[in-house]
Structure 1
Amino acid sequence: MTEDQLKLTGAAVIALALLAAGATVAWVWQANAYGKVMATNEASRQADLASIANAGAEQARNALAKQHDAEQHLAALDQTATEQKVKANAENETLRRAVADGARRLRIAGSCGAGGGSVPDAASATGVGDAGTVELSDAARRSVFDIRAGIIADQAALRAAQAYIRDVCR
């Protein structure tokens, strides 16, 4: 090989070495830049995840607090309704015993008109009118108080449902 060829080959090798070194430096610089971008993106992603987790935890705490308040309010409503029902049933039982013992009388208001209903008109001066009272049998008296107890239970259930809808289901 001639000296000119050697110089040309040396220059080509140096040029290739410089080109390879430049490519290596560019590669390292680019990788470093991508690393910084990826680190920034990861930090942003972690911050977003933490924000989402905190918001979810806050919503869960609020939902649990609301549920707890509703349960407490429902328990108070239930206690009030139960107390009212027990009081009304006790009064009904007191009346039932008083009537059974003869201390009180069960009166059912009514009238028998001479010209109405299925009672025939009396032709004579002696008429039935509203002069007497009607005594109920023991079974009929028990039935009246049983019906009253059912009405008390139904009214208590209705009041409890209305209070629940008005106060808890808001």
Structure 2
Amino acid sequence: MAVGILVVGIVVAGRLAFYYRDSYHHALDKQREFAQLAETRLDTINNMQRQQREVADLDSKYTRELTNARLENDRLRDDVAAGRRQLRIKGTCKLSETTASSSMGNGSTIEVSRETGSTVFDIRSGIISDQQKLRFLQEYVKKQCH
């Protein structure tokens, strides 16, 4: 009977050893899996932070360029309004052959009023703003949506 108890004890001890060994290996596998997942998440976070920095740099660059262009446009508008500069528009006209010879030649300039000059600079400001926004978006797409 002592031998039977000993055999049962050895079998139980063996089963417990295999159980704990399997549990240990299962825990190691889970630990590796979680470590890999944590590394993947960290890489994702780092990539997102890098992209956010790049977008912030792009925004800063194009905002600065837009501000400078607007300041230059405002300076030109103020100069025209104050009479320090004149806004001239160069134009060419196709003339019919029956036109009298006293007409303006091609490539002449026309001076516009101060009010018209201000309107031209308002339109120019809008064009500058739109162009800067397009440049920003094009570079954003090129760098972030590859």
Pairwise TM-score range, normalised by the shorter structure: 0.7 to 0.9
* Equivalent residue, structure 1, for 2:60: 79
TM-score by length of 2: 0.85
Aligned length: 145
Residue 73 (structure 2) pairs with residue 97 (structure 1): no
TM-score by length of 1: 0.74
Residue 110 (structure 2) pairs with residue 129 (structure 1): no
Measure how far apart 1:91 and its partner are.
0.7
**Segment of structure 1 superposing worse, 137-146 or 71-80:** 137-146
Query: Secondary structure, in 3 states, of the residue corresponding to 1:114?
Result: coil
Higher Cα Rg, which structure: 1
Residues 21-170 of structure 1: pairs in structure 2 closer than 5 A: 24-115=5-96, 121-122=98-99, 127-130=102-105, 133-170=109-146
Question: CA RMSD of the aligned region, Å?
Answer: 2.3
Measure how far apart 1:161 and its partner are.
1.1
Q: Which has the higher strand share?
A: 2
Measure how far apart 1:159 and its partner are.
1.2
Q: Which runs of 5+ in 1 are unaligned?
A: 1-17
Q: What percent of counterpart residues are identical?
A: 28
Contact 1:113 1:130 in 2 (8 A): no
Contact 2:80 2:86 in 1 (8 A): yes
